[in-house]
Amino acid sequence: MSNIRPNSFKAKLKKVLLVKTALVLFAWTFGIASFVQPSPTAAAEMATGAVRARVDNMQSMARAHENLGDMLRGKMEYNKNVAKAYADALQITNRFIVKWFENKDMTPPSEAKADIWSNWDDFEKLSALSYAQTQDLYKLVRADGEKSEILGQYLEVTESCSNCHQKYRKSGPGVQPPVALRHGTQ
C-alpha cells in the first residue's frame, strides 16, 4: 500500500464508490437489491409486523456486538471512537428489548417462545440485566479502560444475550463470542 499516493488512492475510492452506487441503483430498479445489499437472514426477510421489527432490531444489535468483538480480538483494528460508537449502539438498542415483545406475536418465522408472555417479569428481569451489562461496557470503552477489562465485560454482555435466548428463543443461545475469545487467547 505504501507505493500508492494518497491522491490516486482517493481517485480509486471515488471510482469504487461510483461503481457501487451504480450497482445499487441498477439492482434497486430491477428489484434485486438483495444481491448487493448485506443479506438479512431468511427469518428477517420473511417476517412481517411486530416480528419483523423485533428481528431487525435484534440483528442490528448483533451487528454492533459482532463488530466490537472483531475489534477486541484484533480482527479489526481497535479504534476507541469506533468502539465507543458500537458500544453505544449496543446499549441504546438493548434498552428497548422489552418494547419489541409487548405485542404477543409468534407468527412464523418468529422464534419467540410463548413462555415470554407467561413469565413476563422474568423476561423483563433478563432484559434489564442485559441492558445493565451493556451500560457497563459502554462506560468502560468510553473511559478507555484496559483492553482485557473491556474484553471481560464484553463477554458478560454476550452471556446476558445467551441467558435470555437459552430460555426464550426456540433455537437457543445463538449469540456466541468469536471462538478466539471463548478460549481466552486474546
97 binds ligand HEC (CB under 6 A): yes
Q: Which stretch binds ligand HEC (CB under 6 A): 22-30, 40-48, 73-81, 137-145?
A: 40-48
Grid cell, residue 186, equals: 486474546
Query: Residues near 182 by Cβ (< 8 Å), separated by ≥ 6?
Result: 176
Indicate which single residue of 71, 112, 140, 151 sits in contact with ligand HEC (rule: CB under 6 A): 112
89 binds ligand HEC (CB under 6 A): no
With a CB cutoff of 8 Å and minimum separation 6, the contacts of 150 are: 72, 83, 137, 140, 141
The residue among 21 and 41 lying less far from ligand HEC, judged by its C-beta, is 41
Rule CB under 6 A: which residues touch ligand HEC? Answer: 41, 43-44, 51, 54-55, 58-59, 61-62, 65, 94, 97, 110-112, 123, 126-127, 130, 157, 160-161, 164-165, 168-169, 174-175
